[in-house]
Structure 1
Amino acid sequence: MDNITLFANQSDCFVGDSPSRRRPFLFLYLAVIIIAIPSNAFSLYVSWQHIRRKNELGVYVFNLALSDLIFTVSLSLWLDFLWRGVWVHGGYVCVLSISFLFTNFYTSDALLCCIAVDRYLAVVHPMKYTSLRKVGTAAVVSVGIWVLVVCFNATTITWKDSYYETKKFSVCFDIFRPLSENAARANVVRFFLGFVVPVLLVIFSTWGICMAVRSNKATEEQERKGILRLLAVVLLCLLFCFGPVHIMMLLRTLVHDCRKVAKLLYPYKISIAISSLNCLADPVLYCFVTRTGQANVNQIVLFFQGKTRSQDDSIV
């Protein structure tokens, strides 16, 4: 297992990775865990306060933070896998951990899409679709997203495509055998419904808002910039965090030869690592891009500054 090796027969294809190539991923995931858990916990708290004030945007941000927290906690299993070089938690936990990964993918991009559409309705049709911009509606939509994503993952993530075990070693997810028909179809659906459609909806929402704020003289310059900055970050999250991994999914679906599939190992792992940065981008989306989020961050900073000053005064 110290060097990159390829084990292949008629039905299996496994690529063993070296410790030196696993190490960067280990450090990256550790950094994601350390930063994402407190930042998403803070987003949960702040968004809950906005839900109590009947702000529908808080519902989507709350569910984003919840999805990121669940995935970030499950990253500890991947850290252990990267450290050992073998998966020691069995097939059921392997399938569950992959389900957490894909659930985070598609709840995140669906909720980001909801945020973009919500801002589009608020700016372009402020009086027409008010019923769609209520906390109750946002809650129903969020629950629907969770249910659809979990059910889709439950029917498409299989033991065969997730877990590989012999007497000497076992691996989870790093199984680069040609995909089964079920997994190949699932990847095509993920690419179009889970990536292309959300990106197109966000682009449409951004374009519609740009047209509306240009013609609306009453919209304040600061508010206009804030809305467009929010949607720009949403689009960047979708393209940067989820674009590479969905392209790699599609490539895996199109390639059937074992040795050609094996060459996709490292690029695919890099794309998965990039997608994990979504857990850091979502808190930034709310806390540093929206006006309310900035105010909350400023309050926290002022609180700690006041605490530091009082401690300094007591020392003097």
Structure 2
Amino acid sequence: MMADNTSSNRSNCTWDTVVERNMYPTVYSLFFIVGFPANCLSLYVAWMLTKRGNNLAVYLISLSVGDLLYILTLPVWIVKALGHPVDDCLCSIITVVMYNSFYVGSGFLCCISMDRYLAIVFPLHFSRVRAVRTAVLVSILVWTLEIAVHLSLLAHTGNIEKFCSHHMCIAPMPMSVADGNGAIIRAVLGFLIPALIMTFCFLEINRALRKSISTVSSERRKICCLLLSLLFTYLVSFMPFQVVMFIRAMLEKGNTCTSQFMGDLYTVFVATTTINSVLDPIIYCLMNESAKTEIKKLFLNCEQQLSRIYSSVVKPQ
């Protein structure tokens, strides 16, 4: 997102956008090419597993939908980075979708971690909490809360009133006090708390598995690798961006410009948040045995269908 130097009541300062122009088209194109089919496949697998009564797949459906919405904004960022004009309303919509997808993803990664925590640490309890119906209700609640919080922050920063009248996809520079407070709230509620919940769940699951004598070592490794990979990807994707946003919120305070170096970091770390949306479905589909089984069935079915089409087209003379 480019720096905004149009506000008359703010300091006259800009960031050079060379990094954005050179990086976004290539990186976002790669992320879209990989992320779109990966999330579509993950969504299909999750749907098939949900039909079989897998409550964890319900959270994966919502996670995949959120990631897909984010992935679908990437072509607009590419067009914008190449210097082409983007409509104000479209700009506002993709910015809202992007930020909401950030924190929806955080919420459902927490749900997945909590589900595994209850299943492994308390295997004989909470069966109703881990039912498919409960997972659906929790998913609806998470979506509702995330959207409500995001709309509240948009109202707090005054962006709802001017939704289609200015470029929300241009980063305000310097940050207003309201924007800075919103960034801090997002960092705490949308990143720090989910990261702590996920870390706690992973540590407790790892401790419980080490004590378990009924779980074979290979199964323990698979569970720990899945959760650790999701946690590691989440931290690598979002921590740098949230740290830079927090520093900007603390330093700028509506009247001070941060350095070009900070601007370059911000530009790079906005892009790295996409890593989470790209890798989450790949990690889950590669490390979950039920998911791999569904993928094999899908590919086998596609192969059979292609063979039938080929046989009907190429008939022996």
TM range (shorter): 0.7 to 0.9
For 1:195, the equivalent position in structure 2 comes to 191
TM-score by length of 2: 0.85
What pairs with 1:101-180 in structure 2 (closer than 5 Å)? 101-157=98-154, 158=157, 172-180=168-176
Q: CA deviation at 1:179?
A: 2.2
Structure 2 contact 4–171 (Cα < 8 Å) conserved: no
Q: 2:288 aligns with which of 287, 290, 293?
A: 290
C-alpha distance in 1 between matches for 2:13 and 2:28: 23
Q: Which amino acid aligns with 2:91?
A: C
Gaps of 5+ in 2: none
Structure 1 residue 61, shift from structure 2 partner: 0.5
Q: Do 2:187 and 2:242's aligned partners in 1 also have CA atoms closer than 8 Å?
A: yes
CA distance in 2, matches of 1:94, 1:147: 23
Task: Report deviation, 1:81.
Answer: 0.8
Deviations, residues 107-142 of structure 1 (Å, cap 9, x unaligned):
101111111110111011011111110111111111
- 1:97 paired with 2:94, answer yes
CA 1:13–1:296: 2 relative to 1, 3 Å: farther
Q: Is the 8 A contact 1:113 1:202 kept in 2?
A: yes
**1: CA distance between counterparts of 2:129 and 2:23?**
44
Letter in 2 for 1:25: Y
* Alignment partners' CA distance in 2, 1:83 and 1:221: 51
Correspondent of 1:241 among 225, 237, 240: 237
Distance 1:126 1:18, change over 3 A: closer
Is the CA contact (8 Å cut-off) linking 1:187 and 1:253 kept in structure 2? Answer: yes
1:274 to 272, 275, 296: 272
Structure-to-structure mapping, 1:196-275, within 5 angstroms: 196-256=192-252, 257-260=255-258, 263-275=261-273
- Contact 1:116-1:234 at 8 Å conserved across structures: no
Percent identity for Structure 1 against Structure 2:
25
Structure 1: state its 5+ residue gaps. none
The letter for the 2-side match of 1:65 is S
Query: Equivalents in 2 of 1:113, 1:165: separation in Å?
Result: 33
Paired position in structure 2 for 1:53? 52
Measured in 2, the distance between the counterparts of 1:179 and 1:20 equals: 20
Name 1:88's counterpart in structure 2: 86
Query: If the length of structure 1 is used for normalisation, what is the TM-score?
Result: 0.86
Paired position in structure 1 for 2:36: 37
Shift of 1:32: 1.4
* RMSD over equivalenced CA pairs, Å: 3.1
CA distance in structure 1 between the aligned counterparts of 2:110 and 2:19, rounded to whole angstroms: 38
Which of structures 1 and 2 has the larger relative contact order (alpha carbons within 8 angstroms, sep 6+)? 2
Look up the equivalent residue of 2:128 and give its one-letter code.
Answer: S
Q: How far apart in 1 are the matches of 2:30 and 2:13?
A: 28
Pairs aligned (count): 307
Aligned to 1:26: 25
Q: Distance in 2 between matches of 1:82 and 1:154?
A: 27
Asked if 2 retains the 8 angstrom alpha-carbon contact of 1:64 and 1:107, the reply is yes
Deviation at 1:283, TM superposition (A): 0.8
3-state SS of 2:170 partner: coil
Deviation of residue 49 (structure 1)?
A: 1.0
Relative to structure 2, which stretch is displaced further, 115-124 or 196-205? 196-205
* 1:116 and 1:202 in contact (8 A); partners too: yes
